[in-house]
Amino acid sequence: MSAHLVVGIDVGTTKVCTIVGEVRADDIFVVGVGIEPSHGMKKGVVTDLSALAASISASVHQAERASGFEINRAFVSLAGGQIAPRNSRGAVGLVGNRGVREEDVDKAIENARMIAIPHNREVLHVIPRSYALDGVHTVRSPIGMHGFRLEVEVHIITAPATVVANLEQALRASLIEPDRFILNPLASGDAVLTDEEREMGVVVIDIGGGTTDLAVFIEGSVWHSAVIPIGGDLITSDLTHWMRVPFDVAETVKLQYGHARQKSIGPLETFAVQTFGADGPDEFSRADIAMVIEARTAEIFEKVLEEIKHSGYDGLLRAGAVVTGGCAQLPGIRDLASDVLGMPVRLAKPERLTGMADVLRSPAFSTSVGLLRLGLQMESAAPLNVNGNGTPNIKLGKWLGGLFRGLLPDEET
Ligand SMILES: Nc1ncnc2c1ncn2[C@@H]1O[C@H](COP(=O)(O)OP(=O)(O)OP(=O)(O)O)[C@@H](O)[C@H]1O
Ligand SMILES: [Mg+2]
């Protein structure tokens, strides 16, 4: 008996989350989840191979036990380590008066991809943004249309080869063959954005423990992406310095008393915590804690705004921003984000889920869930059977088709 499975492993700075999904008709049914604390990763890059491999193994084994399937390949999230996005164009001549074929599109995209990419970088994604036939912009897909010259504009995302290789090694040490690395914000965007938002122009912002990942979607496709190497850990670390307490105490304080808006906290709200070197517990004002958190959180959104402005698409985000990731649970964050970014903000978590998925209905799991969904949309997500005899790596061309469809919701094929 074999099942059509798709597996996603979100290797985060705070947690590793493995999800096993069974493909039933057009839906993914979650049949197993494994969530374990992550060790050996900082700001989205591997810092301790064996610690990370142990975290991945623990998460995978948990998902195996829950699902009853053996896992040996997966779609894996990636962020951090100088991810570099750039836009490029490619063109192809069309011989004879015939409609554009899929292979013409593939060739134009391949030409766009040929732009100089340093040998020490690896291409993660090549995403078509728009097409033109004989200089005239076409609708979503040019397939079947007539013309002499097809042009494509693509968004290319690269990562340092060493960053990819280290993560690959940690996975292989856990006996996992990565099918494909998927940039965090693309996965998060897939899990939480609506088709309308993507069409109108939106930025998805995933604030995790070590990184803040963002992607700009306009006219249904990805136009810009970035990874900023700060997140919730830095907020906690500020509290450790300010309160003089260990990291785990500061983390508990943040989760229990934290707020991103000092003005929302009354001056008399206090709590007591044991600090370094003190005889008894010290008393803290919640408003002071909120002040520290607000300052750092505002800085994160200022950096996000800088990145959006730098992309040049700041005037095109008519649907505003969608904030997700573990830090989206910080009270007051929506108000602060809206103030700093100067646009409407929605907080989001994965919604469209079936199966054993209750635990995943939190903003911390947007990337994890998105990996599975994007993975499924990748046409070549070869079925993995019970014994794990899945076919090897996915071919680039096929994969492009998959992602292309995934990111252009209204495409007619
Ligand atoms: N209720 C809460 N209030 C404030 N912060 C929270 C809350 N819940 C979780 N967080 C923060 O969210 C962060 C973890 O988020 P998440 O699980 O998305 O990270 P990750 O995916 O492991 O990391 P990354 O994506 O950066 O590699 C931590 O900094 C944690 O303190
Ligand atoms: Mg994350």
Q: Is 114 in the pocket of ligand 1 (CB under 6 A)?
A: no
Residue of 19, 240, 327, 366 to mutate, ligand 1, most atoms within 8 A of C-beta: 327
- CATH for 84-157, options being 3.40.50.300, 3.30.1490.110, 3.20.20.80, 2.40.50.140: 3.30.1490.110
84-157 shares its CATH topology with 194-347: no
Q: Is 208 in the pocket of ligand 1 (CB under 6 A)?
A: yes
Look at residue 362 in the predicted model and tell me its pLDDT.
Answer: 96
- Pick from 153-157, 202-206, 382-386: least confident: 382-386
Give buried/exposed letters for 282-314 (b at 16+ CB in 10 A, else e): eebbbbebbbbbbebbeebbebbbebbeebebb
Q: Is the pLDDT of residue 374 over 70?
A: yes
Question: pLDDT grade, residue 392 (50/70/90)?
Answer: very low
- Pick from 36-45, 182-191, 349-358: least confident: 349-358
pLDDT tens sequence across 90-127: 999 998 778 899 999 999 999 998 877 888 999 988 88
Cα of 210 vs centre of ligand 2, distance in Å, is 8
Q: Is 229 in the pocket of ligand 1 (CB under 6 A)?
A: no
CATH superfamily of 194-347: ATPase, nucleotide binding domain (3.30.420.40)
Q: Is 80 in the pocket of ligand 1 (CB under 6 A)?
A: no
Q: Is 371 in the pocket of ligand 1 (CB under 6 A)?
A: no
Q: What percent of the chain has a predicted confidence (pLDDT) above 90? A: 72
**Pairwise pLDDT comparison (144 vs 401), residue with the higher score:** 144
The residues spanned by each domain of the chain are 84-157, 194-347
Residue closest via CA to ligand 1's atom 4 equals 330
Q: Is 366 in the pocket of ligand 1 (CB under 6 A)?
A: no
pLDDT tens sequence across 66-75: 999 999 999 9
**Pairwise pLDDT comparison (389 vs 157), residue with the higher score:** 157
Cα angle 45-372-125, degrees, rounded to a multiple of 5: 55
